Amino acid sequence: MSNKRLLLLDHDVEWTAIASEALIKDSYEVFSVDTFDGALLILKARSFDILIVDINMGDTNPEALLEELFSSADGAKLIVCTPKSSLSQATRLGRLGVLDYLDRTNHATALAELRERLKKALLEGDLAPFASPSVKGIEEKSPVDGKNFHGLVSRNWRMHSIFELIQTISTTSVNVIIEGETGTGKELIAHAIHARSGRRGQPFVTLDCSTLAHELLESELFGHEKGSFTGASERRIGRFERADGGTLFLDEVSNISIIVQAKLLRVLETHTFERVGGQRPIVVDVRIVTASNRRLDQCVADKIFRDDLYHRLNVVQILIPPLRQRLEDIPLLADYFVHRLALEHGKKVRGITTAAVRLLTAYHWPGNVRELENVLLQAVILAQTTMLDVTNLPARIWNPHAPLQQQTSTRLTEQLREPEKEILLSTLKQVDGNITQAADLLQISRTTLYAKLKKHGISPDQI
């Protein structure tokens, strides 16, 4: 049927044995390897049409793994075939050149699906060569409508200039501050900065600074020596040491106490610190990316954040627009999430109706992309049909949100106030101030008329 060449990369040798036997019978030329390094070696020697890979390969970071495979296997397409537990992680990594994601928890089912998928790829001519994303610009690295940048989907120009900025600074290690409302994608952006940079094979370490009391935060950042304080029964390696050579992402950085801010500044200036209770200076090479959903310049003005630290951290600043300021992203994100979530949760939902997307676009999204993702998650999980429709969306999406409603109605009431007063006065004049006749003419009850007269300060006796 075919003489296409396939490479199976998986540490589950039982699976590679079953799959290669069946695929060879289907006339594919099949190679299999059980280590990532082995795959890179074989890719140097031969070209392949399709790589069938498990992203869960021991120590290798899945994103780095895909990047490397793409750049080594110029022209090959990918099918990610991985246990259910790592499927959702796989789908987050972006989809350029990935033909499909298959759950290989059950070998027999996975094999049947894989054969189907390969047949389809051949029929649909999916096997035409493509260029490696790692050497191409942003547009090529996109699963949806050509616009996926390290798992970030957008067709908004402000978001695109952020992607371009990340590309521009990819050869440097400058510190970056990311600001944006909750759920706008700060963590994804931080990750993209790391993944695009020369540090990508090195650790990406995260610390949420919003919840930790200052002693704990200090020990999390710098580590501590055994016995340095009550409860420090073991030596602990801090995030700075763990991030050496890579990127440290400090989330909600505005919450760091002034004391820890001083220590942080010192590391930024000298690349050196000591563990809590330790004497020995430790030298590190760490890039710092910080995020905050409060404006840090405002925190500086309010004197809760050190000016000098702010300037050290803020070499490049990225401000992510809220979702309500990029409505064109809503249909794109809705489509992306529905497909991804259906796949992750094994639901047969295939899409979302135009009417439902219209309703989503009319909502104000205070929780931004995370809220949209959660709304669609709930909809996908509860869906009984293959297309999500307006009835699958929660009530708050249906109801215009309260503040806007109030504003509109206030505005409308205000606009009607003067005309209403004029109508009342002229009707009363017509009937010489007779309340019963005026109410009849206006087709309202006498009680309502009295209330309206009171509201406008009109006394029938004056007429």
Ligand X SMILES: Nc1ncnc2c1ncn2[C@@H]1O[C@H](COP(=O)(O)OP(=O)(O)OP(=O)(O)O)[C@@H](O)[C@H]1O
Chain residues in the site for ligand X (CB under 6 A): 152-154, 180, 182-188, 293, 333, 369-370, 373
User: Which whole-number Å values give the CA distances from 373 to 31, 172, 279, 334, in the listed order?
Assistant: 39, 33, 47, 8
Query: Which CB, 250 or 264, lies closer to Mg ion?
Result: 250
Select 187 or 244, whichever has its Cβ closest to ligand X: 187
Least separation in angstroms between CB 89 and ligand X: 11
CB of 88 to ligand X, least distance (A): 10
Looking at residue 213, what DSSP letter applies?
A: -
Q: Which is nearer to ligand X, 150 or 224 (CB)?
A: 150
Q: Which of 74, 113, 187, 420 binds Mg ion (CB under 5 A)?
A: 187
d(CA 182, CA 163): 19
When CB distances to ligand X are compared, the closest residue is 185
Taking a C-beta distance cutoff of 8 angstroms, is the pair 387, 347 a contact? no
Closer CB to Mg ion, 281 or 366, in the complex: 366
Task: Decide which of ligand X, Mg ion, none touches 152; Cβ closer than 5 to 8 Å per partner kind.
Answer: ligand X
Residues 410-439 that bind Mg ion (CB under 5 A): none
**Residue 126 contact partner, candidates ligand X, Mg ion, none, CB within 5 to 8 A by sort of partner:** none
Write the DSSP string, 6-57.
EEEE-S-HHHHHHHHHHHHHTT-EEEEESSHHHHHHHHHH---SEEEE-S--
Q: How far is the CB of 187 from Mg ion (least distance, A)?
A: 4
Residue 189: CB partners within 8 Å, gap ≥ 6?
Answer: 152, 162, 166, 178, 318, 320
291, β-bridge pairs:
178
Choose between 121 and 380: whose C-beta lies nearer to ligand X.
380
Residue 186 or 239: which CB sits closer to Mg ion? 186
In this structure, what DSSP letter does residue 144 have? S
Q: How far is the CB of 252 from ligand X (least distance, A)?
A: 7
Work out how close the CB of 204 gets to ligand X at its nearest, in angstroms, rounded to a whole number: 13
Per partner kind, with CB cut-offs from 5 to 8 A, the member of Mg ion, ligand X, none near residue 133 is none
**120 CB neighbour count, 10 Å cutoff:** 12
Kindly state the smallest distance separating residue 253's Cβ from ligand X, in Å. Answer: 12
Which residue's CB atom is positioned nearest to Mg ion? 187
Q: Do 370 and 182 contact (CB within 8 A), yes or no?
A: yes
Please say whether the beta carbons of 190 and 249 come within 8 A: yes
Q: Which of 224, 172, 227 is nearest to 196 (CA)?
A: 172
Kindly tell me which of 206 and 434 has the beta carbon lying closer to ligand X: 206
How many Å apart are CA 11 and CA 15, to the nearest integer? 9
Among the listed residues 204, 203, 205, 235, the one whose alpha carbon sits nearest the alpha carbon of residue 219: 235
By C-beta, is 12 or 179 nearer to Mg ion? 179
- Taking the complex as a whole, how short is the minimal distance between the CB of residue 372 and ligand X, in angstroms? 8
- Shortest separation between residue 316's beta carbon and ligand X, angstroms: 17
Q: Of the two residues 74 and 187, which places its CB atom closer to Mg ion in the complex?
A: 187
State the binding partner of 370 from Mg ion, ligand X, none, CB within 5 to 8 A by kind: ligand X
- The residue (of 138 and 153) whose beta carbon lies closer to ligand X is 153
Least CB distance to ligand X at residue 3 (A): 39
Give which of Mg ion, ligand X, none residue 188 binds (C-beta under 5 to 8 Å, depending on kind).
Answer: ligand X
Smallest distance, Å, CB 206 to ligand X? 10
- Name 343's Cβ contacts closer than 8 Å, sequence gap at least 6: 87, 91, 101
User: Segment contacting Mg ion (CB under 5 A): 7-15, 178-186, 266-274, 405-413?
Assistant: 178-186
Count of residues that bind Mg ion according to CB under 5 A = 2
CA 226 to CA 235: how far, in whole Å? Answer: 4
344 binds, among Mg ion, ligand X, none (CB under 5 to 8 A by kind): none
Report what 184 binds from ligand X, Mg ion, none; CB cut-off 5-8 Å by kind.
ligand X
DSSP string, 390-404: GGGS-HHHHSPPHHH
Give the residues across from 316 on adjacent strands: 176
User: In Å, what is the CA distance from 30 to each residue of 4, 73, 346?
Assistant: 9, 15, 29
Can you give the binding site for Mg ion, defined by CB under 5 A? 186-187
